[in-house]
Amino acid sequence: MIFASQVKAQVLTSGGKLKPEQAIMDVRHYTMALNVDFEQKSINGYTIIDVNMAQPAKVLLFDLLDSLNVSKILVNNKPQPFIYKNNLITINLNNELPAGKASVKVFYGGKPHVARRPPWDDGFTWTRDSTGHQWLAITAEGTGGKIYFPCKDHPSDEPNEGVDMFITVPKDLVVAGPGLLQKVVKHGKTATFHWKTNYTINNYSILFNVGDYAVVSRTYTTINGNKVPLQFYVLKEHESKAVHHLDILEKTVHEEEKYFGEYPWAKEKIAICETPHLGMEHQTMNAYGNKFRYTKIGGEDYDWLMHHEFGHEWWGNKVTAKDWADYWIHEGINTFGDALYVREYDGEAAYIKYFKDAATKFGNKIPIVRGKDIDEEAAYNGDIYGKGAFFMHTIRYVIGDSVFFPALKKFVTSTNYTYDNLVNTDDVEQFFSKESGTDLKPLFDLFLRTTSKLDIHVLTKLNNKYLISLKNISIPLPIDITTDFGTKRIILSKAGVVIESKTLPVIDNDSYYLKKIIIE
C-alpha cells in the first residue's frame, strides 16, 4: 500500500486480538459466487468457507460488515440459526460441530460499503471510464475482506488452498481477479468469470475489479526459467499505452527477482489492472491507477507506484506478517526494495542520497512495532514505510553487503518464512542475527520498538583528540568517521574510541543511522 500523509478516512479496521471462537478455526478455502448489479450498486450470491476445526465447537463466528443482508446459512449442508450484527455473523449451531473439516455456506447480498477516498479508505468504487463504460474497483486492505464477503478477518489465517471466484457482470465488461482465469460463461446479457488461485492468499487480496478492459499480454521468463503470463488489464481507451507500460513492468520484475528471488506466483501470472484509485497490492493482479505518469531513473521511464505495489508480491503477499503489529515487514522492507531500484539503475551514490533525504522526513512520534495483537488502523503510520526502509539500510551497513544481500534473498525464498508460514519481527531479527553472527536484537529494539535515535557522544580532549562513544545501545557498531586524515570505518561502543583530528570529526556523513550527536 502507499502512504498518505493526510489523516486516513478509514473507520473500520482488520486484525487485533484474535477471537477465541476463531482461534480454533483454520480457513482452508473460499468459494465466492456473486452477481454484480451496476444499476443498483449491489451484489448478491454466496460464499463458501471451508475450514478445519481444531476442536469441537457450538458457535462459529465470521466477520462481515453490517451494510449487507444475510438470508441463510448452511453448515455441512444443514441450515443453522444465526445472528448478524456488529459486523459479525454468529452461528449458534443446532448440534455441536466436531473437530475436523467443515463447510459453511453463507447466502447474502445488498449494497456494499462505498469507498470515500480509496485506496486509503476501503470499499466499492462505482464509476465510469471516460467512454461511459461501467467501472468497479474494490479496496480492502485496512478493513479486510469482510468489506464484502464473510470471512475470518485476521492476518494470522489465510486460505491455504486458495480461492475460487465466480463473478457475474454485464456481458460487455471484463472481470480481473487473482490467480488464473478458468473460463467465461455467457448467459444472454451477462457473463460469469471464474478466477482461481491455488496459492495461499491474504484476506485483502481476495477481490476483483470490473471494467471495459483489453488484456495486453506477453510471456515473461523468470530468473529460474519458468514462463509466466505477463498481463495488463487496461481500459480499452488506454490500450495504446500498454506495451510500453509492460516494458517498464518487465524491467521492474527483473530487478525485484535479482534481490528477492523468483517471482512468487510463477504457476499463475504477473498482472496489473487499471483502477480509478491510485493503486494497491493484490496478489497476481496489482491495482494500478497512476495514469502513466513516469519519472526517470537511469535515464529511462519508471513508475514508482507500480514498482512499490508490485514489490508487495514478495513483501506482504509471499512474506506475510501474522500480526498487524509487524506491518513494517510488508511496507518497510518493500520500500527498501524501491531504493534498491534506484541503486540498480542510478548507482550507489543515488541510493545514498535517497536515504539521506528520507532521514529528514520521518515523524518518529510512535514506535514502528508496538507490542502484539495490534489492528491495522493502530499499526498504520508513515514510519512503517520510510523508517522501516531506513532500518534495512542500517542493517545492510552493519553486517556488510557480502552477508546482507544473500541473507535478504535467503529469507524471502526460504520455506520457513513464506507462503503458509507467517512471520513476525522476532523472526526477522533472529534470522539476520544468525546469518551475520551478530546479536542484532538491541538494534531492532532501539529503532523499531522505540522512537530513540542512536546517541553518539563526542568529548573534546586536549591535543586535537576526541573521545567518541555510543550512549544508548549495548552492542558495538561500525560507524564512518571523517577526520582530516580521511574517512575510516571504526567500531564504536559505550567505552568509546579516541580519535585524533585537527578538525571536528564528521560522524556517519552518509547517514546509515538515525542518530543524535552530542558534542562537548
pTM of this structure: 0.95
Q: Which CATH number fits domain 454-519: 2.60.40.10, 2.60.40.1910, 3.40.50.1820, 1.10.10.1100?
A: 2.60.40.1910
Q: Answer yes or no: is pLDDT of 5 > 50.
A: no
pLDDT exceeds cutoff 60 at 217:
yes
pLDDT at 7: 38
Write the pLDDT tens digit of every residue in 29-38.
999 999 999 9
pLDDT in tens, 256-290: 999 999 999 999 999 999 999 999 999 999 999 99
Q: Which pLDDT score is estimated for 9?
A: 42
**H-type helices in 121-212, by residue range?**
none
Q: What is the pLDDT of residue 4?
A: 52
Maximal CA-CA distance, the chain: 91
pLDDT bin (cut points 50, 70, 90) of residue 12 is: confident
Q: Could you tell me which CATH class the domain 215-312 is placed in?
A: alpha beta
C-alpha 127/C-alpha 398 separation (Å) is: 50
For residue 104, what are the β-bridge partners? Answer: 49, 75
Is 430's pLDDT higher than 70?
A: yes
d(CA 307, CA 309) in angstroms, rounded, equals 6
| Mean pLDDT, residues 74-97 | 97
Which residues lie below 8 Å from residue 405, measured CB to CB, with a gap of 6+?
259, 396
338-365 pLDDT, tens per residue? 999 999 999 999 999 999 999 999 999 9
pLDDT in tens, 106-159: 999 999 999 999 998 899 999 999 999 999 999 999 999 999 999 999 999 999
Considering the chain, what is the average pLDDT of its residues?
96
Q: Over the stretch 275-331, which tens digit does the pLDDT of each residue have?
A: 999 999 999 999 999 999 999 999 999 999 999 999 999 999 999 999 999 999 999
Q: Rounded distance, CA 316 to CA 351, Å? A: 23
CATH match for 324-449 among 2.60.120.10, 1.10.8.100, 1.10.3720.10, 1.10.390.10: 1.10.390.10
Same fold, 11-211 and 215-312: no
Domains of the chain by residue range = 11-211, 215-312, 324-449, 454-519
Tell me which CATH homologous superfamily contains domain 11-211. tricorn interacting facor f3 domain (2.60.40.1730)
Partnered with residue 73 across adjacent β-strands are 106
pLDDT band at 2 (very low <50, low <70, confident <90, very high): low
pLDDT digits (tens, 9 = 90+) for 73-85: 999 999 999 999 9
User: What's the Cα-to-Cα distance from 23 to each of 219, 389, 471, rounded to whole Å?
Assistant: 42, 32, 43
User: Helices 348-358 and 386-399: crossing angle, nearest 10°?
Assistant: 130
Contacts 24+ apart (CB under 8 A), 214-219: 214/239, 214/242, 215/174, 216/242, 216/243, 216/246, 218/246, 218/250
Q: Does 3 have pLDDT greater than 80?
A: no
User: pLDDT exceeding 70 applies to what percent of the chain?
Assistant: 98
